[in-house]
Amino acid sequence: MLAAAAIALAVAAAAFERNPGGDAGALSSWGLGARADALGRAYGALADDAAAVYWNPAGLAALERTELTFGYGVPFREVSDVTLGDAAVAKPLLYGAAEGAVGAGSLGTLAAAFAFRRAGEIYEANETGLTGRTFDDTDVELSLGYAHSLGEKAAFGLALKNVTRNVGDYADSGFGVDVGTTYRPLPGLGLGAVVRNVIGPNFRLKAIKDVPSLTFELSGSYELLGVAAPCAALEITREGFYDVGAGLEVTPVKYVALRGGYYTGDERPRAGLGFHFGGFRFDYTMRFGGPLGDCHLASVSALFGGEPPPSDFVIPEEEGYIEFEPAEEPAPEEEIQPENEEGEESPGGADVGGSSGETSEKP
């Protein structure tokens, strides 16, 4: 199955050209969370947390409890003025019972995210060379996502985003829309499809127009015995460029996850580590190499709302159901009449011989 998926990605990519880089909005493309980056950004089919509002909004439908997550990153070790920060919250909209309770109905999942990316102290240059001045490049992105399940195997999601970009003395904002779906045809197998920038944020900084490209992403993942989860994704832009990401997540012990991946967009391998215990999770990722040094990303997440309570009623496996029989009512007791001193029954229970009131003799 994994070999077939790899062949399908190779055939699809053969019709396009590798992305040469230089995309508009490079800072905004970093995404949310450390787990996704450790898996080579091939997270569209696996996304099941608050960070799904960026990677595939349909993945929000998998949440059963409210989640809050924070992330921070240093993209280039040799450049101190480039930083990333993000926060996201996702809440299932349940009715009929409290969060985490059995029998709750769902109106979908709502999420909101904030992302801040900054590159400072960039040297300014013109036609004659460096001017001796510097400027900052800052992106602030606000997102609002919603997802709802489509039956037991599929889900649909939508993300609305507003990006404000500041470059030197110029600033502008743009509105965008992403859509995504997930489908799980078999136990352990996950498929995802995302269309980013269905409506792309349009920026105009002085005379320069900056528009993120319409991008299609197909992804797949497969959980092996609950211990390993390989994943892969193919991104194709409207201009005909593509990038491929692949990763593997392994859980050798109950609370620890080891991750590794590769993404052709930056041509850098990465490795990651995750700890999760109860409602708390910590993820760390490191990208290796690059002309500006290694990259470090970390994120922490917390879940709120109780776990589903255990049921007190257990149906016996052999009987299938329990049949209750009504208890039998006791038979009414016969009324015993008291006897007089001569051994005769009281007048209420004796035979009356006539109107004279004399009683009949006993045989």
Residue 110 domain-assigned (yes or no): yes
Question: Which backbone phi and psi does 30 adopt, to 5 degrees?
Answer: -75, -25
Nearest to 38 by CA among 300, 286, 292: 286
Q: What is the pLDDT of residues 151-197, one digit of tens each?
A: 989 999 999 999 998 887 788 889 999 999 999 999 999 999 999 99
Q: What is the DSSP letter of 323?
A: -
116 within domain boundaries: yes
Domain membership flag for residue 31: yes
Domain of 214 in residue numbering reads as 2-304
- 315 or 264, which is more confident? 264
Can you give the pTM of this predicted structure? 0.75
Is 104 within a domain?
yes
At 109 the pLDDT is 96
Residue 319 in any domain: the answer is no
Asked whether the predicted pLDDT for residue 322 surpasses 80, the reply is no
> Which contacts (CB < 8 Å, 24+ apart) does range 286-290 have?
287/37, 290/76, 290/266
Position 118 confidence tier, pLDDT thresholds 50, 70, 90: confident
Percentage of the chain modeled with pLDDT above 90: 48
41 versus 131: the higher-pLDDT residue is: 41
Which pLDDT does position 355 carry in this prediction? 45
CATH of the domain at 28: 2.40.160.60
Split into its structural domains, the chain has a count of 1
For residue 11, being part of any structural domain is answered with yes
Domain assignment of residue 357, yes or no: no
